[in-house]
Amino acid sequence: MEQGELARQNYRVGREAFERGRYRESIESFQTSVELAGRNSILGGQAQVWMVSAFEALEKRDEAIALCESITRHPHDTTRKEAKRLLYILKAPRLKIRPEWRTEIPDLTQLEEGDRPAAAYAQPSKKTTPRRKPKPEPEPIDLSQVNTRDNGFVWVGVVAIALLLAGLLWYGM
């Protein structure tokens, strides 16, 4: 297999590992990809950008910032711009998050496949919201109580429309 194809394969493996939360594995694959493709290649730049994200995910912010600062001098314009955006985010002040806003995810990487008790990680049942009672149907209206007399307003409107149309026709001639 040629070196470029091997670099692309390591890049793909690194992305898949990153997407699965295996950040250490992804960094190793990205480093191999960078070594094979070269730091200044487009693929090498993309792999380094992904490595910055993996370092940040592992809470290695100093390493992420250092790598990101070096990528801001990359010869490929798109990679440089992406590195500058990431660096801006990495250097931004961290927001303080209350503990009740967080959901802790247990680390299951140390457990073997057979050691995982299914009940321990089952989602708690959600409280069901009470069903709303259907609104009662409105009482039927007694039509004998409704005023059905003509109050002349309709005829005023018809005459006004007729005068308007006649004026438009006369003006248009």
Q: Does residue 164 belong to any structural domain of this protein? A: no
Task: Find the angle CA(47)-CA(51)-CA(53) to the nearest 5 degrees.
Answer: 120
Would you say residue 72 has pLDDT above 80?
A: yes
Q: Does residue 80 belong to any structural domain of this protein? A: yes
Q: Does residue 99 belong to any structural domain of this protein? A: no
Q: Does residue 144 belong to any structural domain of this protein? A: no
Number of domains in the chain: 1
Would you say residue 90 has pLDDT above 60?
A: yes
pLDDT for res 130:
74
Please tell me the pTM assigned to this model: 0.56
* CATH number of the domain to which 78 belongs: 1.25.40.10
Q: What is the pLDDT of residues 2-42, one digit of tens each?
A: 888 999 999 999 999 999 999 999 999 999 999 999 989 99
Q: Does residue 20 belong to any structural domain of this protein? A: yes
Q: Does residue 18 belong to any structural domain of this protein? A: yes
Q: Which domain holds residue 56?
A: 3-91
Secondary structure class of 112 (helix, strand, coil): coil
